[in-house]
Chain A
Amino acid sequence: DAGITQSPRYKITETGRQVTLMCHQTWSHSYMFWYRQDLGHGLRLIYYSAAADITDKGEVPDGYVVSRSKTENFPLTLESATRSQTSVYFCASLGGQREAFFGQGTRLTVV
């Protein structure tokens, strides 16, 4: 199916564990983004990528790592999860008209 998909949709992990959130898009969009959304708030940019092998920090990058070996995939890794990283994570890609297309989100709980 065309679009942008995130996996898993829900994840519970323990403090200190490493967890990877996956994001896959089928359009070959150059730009991709990772945001986190805390309850009742807007989106904060974690990392973004302009193309394969090009990534850059956003507003809140600490504790996160990204990679982009292929244009279609943009995984986000929490190296050592903390309770403050409990949030909903959204992946997005930027279309030709500069509009963003979002995945369904991953709800992550760190216990």
Chain B
Amino acid sequence: SQQGEEDPQALSIQEGENATMNCSYKTSINNLQWYRQNSGRGLVHLILIRSNEREKHSGRLRVTLDTSKKSSSLLITASRAADTASYFCATDGTSGSRLTFGEGTQLTVNP
């Protein structure tokens, strides 16, 4: 079964609005990562947050991690049509270097 589960499965917003996606996971982690996938393409790494960090920023991205709840959120501020893509969380577990991905959130940003 998937380690990470994203919520919601799909999100549609207007340009300029903020988009928030959530990820829950099951086991202990070294870090949690977020990736983006444009249609028909490979995944691209966005941001990594370590298990001892609670919040991290990168440009318009803000990631939070709550290890007590085994959950993370990705916030994209001031969204653009070009942000339209699928977003996946991935966990790097403590039992070995294997990244486990969730099912993803399909984000659509309408111009």
Q: A residues within 8 Å of B by Cβ?
A: 31, 33, 35, 41-45, 48, 50, 56, 58-59, 90, 92, 94, 97-105
CB distance from A107 to the nearest CB of B (A): 9
A41 and B1 CA atoms in complex are apart in Å by 12
Total of A-B residue pairs, C-beta within 8 Å: 60
12 A–B pairs (Cβ distance < 8 Å), ordered by A: A31-B97, A33-B98, A42-B104, A44-B2, A44-B101, A45-B99, A56-B96, A92-B43, A92-B99, A98-B31, A99-B45, A100-B90
Contact B103 A41 (CB under 8 A): yes
Which of A33, A90, A101 touches B45 (beta carbons < 8 Å)? A101
Chain A hits for B40, CB < 8 A: 105
Q: Is B59 engaged at the interface, CB distance under 8 Å to the other chain?
A: no
Q: Secondary structure of the B side of the interface?
A: strand
Q: Which residues of B contact A44 (CB under 8 A)?
A: 2, 101
**What separation, in Å, do the CA atoms of A101 and B46 have in the docked complex?**
11
Please judge, given known A-B contacts A90-B42, A90-B43, A105-B41, whether A100 and B104 are in contact too, CB under 8 Å.
no
Query: What interface size band does chain B fall in?
Result: 20 to 34
Whose C-beta in chain B lies nearest to the C-beta of A4? Answer: B42
Question: Would you list which residues of chain B between 29 and 64 have a CB under 8 Å from chain A?
Answer: 30-31, 33, 35, 40-45, 48
Bound complex: CA A103 to CA B2 (Å):
21
Ordered nearest first, which 6 A-B pairs have the shortest CB separation?
A102-B42, A42-B103, A43-B101, A99-B45, A102-B43, A42-B101
> Is the Cβ of B92 less than 8 Å from the Cβ of A98?
yes
Interchain CB contact (< 8 A) of A50 among B45, B88, B97, B102:
B97
What is the CA–CA distance of A42 and B7 in the complex, to the nearest angstrom? 13
A67 CB to closest chain B CB, in angstroms?
18
Q: Are B97 and A42 in contact (CB under 8 A)?
A: no
B92 → chain A closest CB, angstroms:
6
How many Å lie between the Cα of A50 and that of B30 in the bound state?
Answer: 17
